[in-house]
Structure 1
Amino acid sequence: MSIRHGLLALLRRGPMHGYQLRSSFEESTGGTWPLNIGQVYTTLARLERDELVRALPEAEGQRPYEITAAGRAEVAAWFATPVERADRPRDELAVKLALAITTPGVDVAAVVQAQRTASMRAMQEYTRMKRSAEAPGDLPWRLVLDAMVFQAEAELRWLDHCESSLRRYEHKQTGGAATVQLEVVDERA
């Protein structure tokens, strides 16, 4: 998701200044994507340049912004367009495992296990947080938490798949003989 579209969506609710936008964004996402106030004002400046928002007269030391008709059309198009897998950032874990497999001296099983442990802890924490979000106004936050739980579950399933694929690969490479465990090299030393 772009911050640009997130701010436009929030401005559809009504005029807001930067700090209100940051607060509303973080509240809507349960703080899972904290925004730097500088990002908010930089994005607002670009949105204003692109005529998607307009600055209103300053009030109480703050400059509120409102969405324009072009901004409404932009955010409506964003809501109507499915998110493509290619639009999402690179998957750092997939890249890390691909590099671990091809880098001598890396214990790939340990990399997988460390990630599995971290993913399991995260999923348990998300589940705990979900239980505490029971008020009707918590629905947006609960949906974000659901997405995070489902992503953690999918990651755990994928890690299981990676582990079994590695075992099959090692078995083929060694003809079924015992494999030598590669050790992790700590490059910080």
Structure 2
Amino acid sequence: MSVRHGLLALLERGPRYGARLRTEFESRTGSTWPLNVGQVYTTLSRLERDGMVAQEGADEAGRDLYAITDSGRAELRSWFETPVDRTNPPRDELAIKLAMAVGAPGVDIREVIQSQRHHTLKAMQDYTRLKVQALADGPADRDEVAWLLVVEQLIFQAEAESRWLDHCESRLVRLAEGAGAEPSANADSPAASGPALSAADLPRVRN
């Protein structure tokens, strides 16, 4: 998440003080990625240091206003025009957890997968309810449309994660069967039932 560029995008609409930037940022994203005022002012200080924003007086309440500079506008245009880099993805805790669970003594990896699946589906249902509620509220303004884009991305992400978890479980079942074992029993799982899948069942995992 680029707080830096998000603040520049908001300042493109006119000078703002820190607390207002925080409120508008959270309104646009539905508080999905909440900010604190300290983070906003720290980012503004760095942007000011880099010549992308400048202080522009104060409002009637004496709050310092910040305005975007020409350099900031150029940076913002570049950000909008440049694709988000997917060749160096951030670390994903779930992927690391499952990778470490394979072969870990005393860990039933299907229990790990099943627990995560329940959590992911619950999150997807919650996001879907938020979307339905937003659509039921009537015509959307600019901030509401922005929030819908964010919540729909979260829904798609949860759907993809759920499908990936199904794939992981199916792969582990095949590996266990190839090693002469059977997958662990789980009434909620679509896969076949049988004895628990242990670390010893997966000694030759390579992919």
Fold match by TM threshold 0.5: yes
1:136 maps to 140
Of Structure 1 and Structure 2, the greater helix share is in 1
User: After the TM superposition, which residues 98-117 of structure 1 pair with which residues of structure 2 at under 5 Å, given as runs?
Assistant: 98-117=99-118
Instruction: Supply the distance in 2 between the matched residues of 1:88 and 1:10 (Cα, whole angstroms).
Output: 26
* Secondary structure of the corresponding residue to residue 65 of structure 1: strand
Supply the distance in 2 between the matched residues of 1:176 and 1:98 (Cα, whole angstroms): 20
Distance 1:5 1:151 in 2: 23
Unaligned runs of 5+ in 2: 184-193, 200-207
Q: Give the 5 Å matches for 1:53-92.
A: 53-59=53-59, 60-92=61-93
Q: Give 1:163's aligned residue.
A: 169
Q: How many angstroms apart in 2 are the aligned matches of 1:47 and 1:77?
A: 15
- Compute the displacement of 1:77 (Å): 0.4
Report the alpha carbon displacement of residue 180 of structure 1 after superposing the two structures with TM: 3.9
CA distance in 2, matches of 1:176, 1:111: 17
1:51: Cα distance to partner? 0.2
Q: Secondary structure at the match of 2:14?
A: coil
Give 1:64 deviation, angstroms. Answer: 0.9
Match of residue 14 from structure 2: 14
Distance 1:90-1:35 versus aligned 2 partners, 3 A rule: same
* Counterpart position of 1:94: 95
Aligned length: 183
TM-score of the superposed pair, with normalisation by structure 1 = 0.91
Greater mean deviation of Cα atoms: 58-67 or 4-13: 58-67
Counterpart CA distance in 1 for 2:99 and 2:84 is 25
User: 2: distance between equivalents of 1:56 and 1:153?
Assistant: 45
Deviations 1:63-94 (A, max 9, x none): 11000000000011000011122354211111
* TM-score in terms of structure 2 length: 0.83
Per the alignment, residue 52 of structure 1 pairs with: 52
* 2:90 maps to amino acid: P
User: Once the 2 structures are TM-superposed, how far is the Cα of residue 179 of structure 1 from its aligned partner?
Assistant: 4.7
With over 3 angstroms needed to count, the CA separation of the structure-2 counterparts of 1:49 and 1:104, relative to structure 1, is same
Q: Do 2:181 and 2:197's aligned partners in 1 also have CA atoms closer than 8 Å?
A: no
Distance in 2, matches of 1:175 and 1:34, equals 46
The amino acid that maps onto 2:172 is L
**Whole-angstrom distance in 1 between the partners of 2:114 and 2:62:** 52
- The one-letter amino acid of 1:3's match is V
Match of 1:187 in 2: none
* Shift, 1:175, TM fit: 6.1
Percentage identity across aligned positions? Answer: 53
Partner of 2:67, secondary structure, is strand
